[in-house]
Structure 1
């Protein structure tokens, strides 16, 4: 064979090989799974544990939760935590994300009394994980505000920022010697926007005009105070990482030319909880701040309904991150409302504030959860949007999961497909878009109490038998698939249609 021909053959072979998709995840990429305290622990009134807003909500407003379900027992993880550690180890998880119940540790919500049983429960869980080689990733607040603090105004009271800071300092002081990954607050979008706009989440108060935006500002300030406490008092010794986890919806054009509403609503849903922390200048997204000032004036308010940040507050919040934590489930296509057409309610079906209507495309697969439609490319688009807006920072996917009704029992092939397709988008983000994604967390490790959906909706890699007093956990096919992904540190191709591992 002539030298030139040989060179040509080798060159073509090189092109073919390099064109194949990279299925391996980068070295050090972390795989995990997540839960939260109210959703799995149960034991809502054991020892001297205090009442949370979700205890009050489910007990007094049972019509707002499917079949009147509560988290009183849930998965009984307060008593069955060793089972959770065992299945996390069986999966080979690098990290397990869970949250600390504010009222289990501080029954009154304030640090005048710390519950010894609460301290022991989380000590045992953390130590059990570490013994199995699993990193604990701890969320300090996952929606279960002490009812006592809610009675004083909750997230609308500016003092909440100090109450939360006090709680965070105690959590750090007890557990920071062993916990290196922290999330201060989970999904302020769902803490603030969803409850105050719909009343379908605790505390059940509807006040979209004022309450939701007071809550928004105070969650950002509370996060910042907690981050700075860790940074100044605990980081020098323990060298951990702290962030806030945002629930992000991906927005796409309804038709070509709809970029303006896409960017506007992205800034309202993502930017309003990110710009103050991750941008160089801090504060609210300028376009949102300007718009709210104008709209508030036309509605007769003497000042903007989006509460102003002082210069000191801007500096307090700006830069309070070690990575970007994002939770992704679904997407929407958006456009401006037509004359006479109503938008909303925010944050699922559009934004009355922006006069934007949100819908889904007919080809997006539906799920048992009414608001979740499957669109895996949305995850990649979000990661690129975040990099474009806030720079080349580390991204950690802290929730991503598929809701079913459980009829499939253990043969949850749709969850396998969902996991594969979203991990594929993660790899595309890393390899094609050069986004620094450092981890992925499946929601959830086990079936649990899914807020207004109760136990009707199942997200678990492991099935939980809620009719069994022992709350038996049983491995689903999705757990087997995820275990193989972790073992091989690679995206495992699946057959079409999916039939076996």
Structure 2
């Protein structure tokens, strides 16, 4: 996304609540959530295909992404939506088994390769930059059958997959995101998300290590063979829940929870020393010994692995939605959704404060100031890195089209990004709204609407209609002014 030099121009922009020239606005999506076409052509089966077909009860409404928004067939409509939004970039993901049906490069799907190539070309023709995520949780089931993210060989398998993508699209894609939210290790190994395994605190830690190694192998491959030709950037995407102590007495515990939810992935890449956060590594080693384990359940890095991973990112790509407060857990505590980030391991309770307004999803409440807090903390921890907001969005609205709460959400959270840039000197290059349109929201199925566009999932055409928030965001992207005047009339497709 390039470096941004701060100046007096930025101070003026903030006073006007206007982002500076050079700041980029975009929207995001992911392949399983919008594409459908789950078995179209020669596409291979993914772990999500297997999970939703064999355990539909794991999804709130029993639904699946077999058709979703049908973007596999309706991608041209999506490109038109993007053009109407005036965005600078579109962040989308590639389905690993759609391109490599066996999971390995021995067999390339011509149909899958052409699908993403056509999408990239159409974006570029309209002046929209493709920002490509290589892995947004769609592991080929063939690789899961071999151990998936708990198999150390997956770092090589992922690098092989990355090479295929770099060869296919490297001449047209300048921004690559390797793995979206490695915290999926917790969800996937706590039985909540695909592959639905029960190995929290063991399998989840193996997954954490090998995802970091897979990312680093892909990064070093690009750095060595493709960056000299194309000059692009490669980064890992971190989900950052901002965490605050419930009381002053909870400050030390809060730091440990930050280590397991943020530092578990960021420290290895962005810190000066690399590896696991030292306090977390000591804690789990001690706890493992007390449990009679012969070694820590958090697998150690070799020095060679530490060097491979350290510095393997060209910017800090951040997804942010929620803030929570940390306190010591009662003996009979129930942990809720935040348990999947390992807080039960630490004896912590993590929950939103009661005064923070709720959304339609029980996993996050509204606290815009937490976004600024997260950005400042990351700068203090890892230095003057450049940030790129790869996801930020709002779940639900009472009205299907007049979603004023989503407009206010983006206005409030963008204001906090501006404050972080001006008051705290945080360098932020761009912002992605989640999401382009309503889509399959994992365990909540189609119950949580998060799109700037409403999708009629009862229609075979999966009709897309811009919401109030689409009209607002289109003008923000055009003017960079978060207080911009805009018009909205229900049913008006002209933004």
Which TM-score band applies after superposition, normalised by the shorter structure?
over 0.9
Instruction: Give the corresponding residue for 2:195.
Output: 203
5+ unaligned residues in a row in structure 2: which ranges?
1-10
Partner of 1:480, secondary structure, is helix
The alignment yields a C-alpha RMSD, in angstroms, of 1.8
- Note closer, same or farther for the CA distance 1:306–1:488 as it changes in structure 2 (3 Å cut): same
Structure 2 residue aligned with 1:378, among 370, 374, 380? 370
Q: Distance in 2 between matches of 1:62 and 1:203?
A: 13
Instruction: Give the corresponding residue for 1:154.
Output: 148
- Note closer, same or farther for the CA distance 1:221–1:348 as it changes in structure 2 (3 Å cut): closer
Instruction: Give the corresponding residue for 1:218.
Output: 210
Shift of 1:494: 8.1
Structure 1 residue aligned with 2:240, among 224, 245, 248? 248
Q: Distance in 2 between matches of 1:267 and 1:47?
A: 43
Structure 1 residue aligned with 2:185, among 177, 186, 192? 192
1:444 counterpart = 2:439: no
Shift of 1:484: 1.2
Shift of 1:268: 0.9
Partner of 1:365, secondary structure, is coil
Instruction: Give the corresponding residue for 2:310.
Output: 318
Instruction: Give the corresponding residue for 1:94.
Output: 88
Instruction: Give the corresponding residue for 1:24.
Output: 18
Q: Distance in 2 between matches of 1:37 and 1:20?
A: 35
TM-score (norm 1): 0.92
1:126 counterpart = 2:117: no
- Note closer, same or farther for the CA distance 1:18–1:223 as it changes in structure 2 (3 Å cut): closer
Structure 2 residue aligned with 1:272, among 235, 259, 264? 264
Q: Distance in 1 between matches of 2:294 and 2:194?
A: 30
Shift of 1:258: 2.4
- Note closer, same or farther for the CA distance 1:163–1:20 as it changes in structure 2 (3 Å cut): closer
Instruction: Give the corresponding residue for 1:463.
Output: 454
> What is the number of equivalent residue pairs in this alignment?
477
Q: 1:111, 1:166 within 8 Å by CA — same for their partners in 2?
A: yes
* Greater relative contact order (Cα < 8 A, sep 6+): 2
TM superposition outliers: structure 1 runs of 4+ over 6 Å: 17-20
Partner of 2:25, secondary structure, is strand
Q: 1:85, 1:129 within 8 Å by CA — same for their partners in 2?
A: yes
Instruction: Give the corresponding residue for 2:388.
Output: 396
Q: 1:343, 1:349 within 8 Å by CA — same for their partners in 2?
A: no
Q: 1:348, 1:371 within 8 Å by CA — same for their partners in 2?
A: no
Instruction: Give the corresponding residue for 2:7.
Output: none
Instruction: Give the corresponding residue for 1:83.
Output: 77
- Note closer, same or farther for the CA distance 1:398–1:349 as it changes in structure 2 (3 Å cut): closer
Shift of 1:21: 2.7
TM-score (norm 2): 0.94
Structure 2 residue aligned with 1:178, among 172, 190, 200? 172
Instruction: Give the corresponding residue for 1:13.
Output: none
Q: Distance in 1 between matches of 2:23 and 2:12?
A: 22
Instruction: Give the corresponding residue for 1:288.
Output: 280
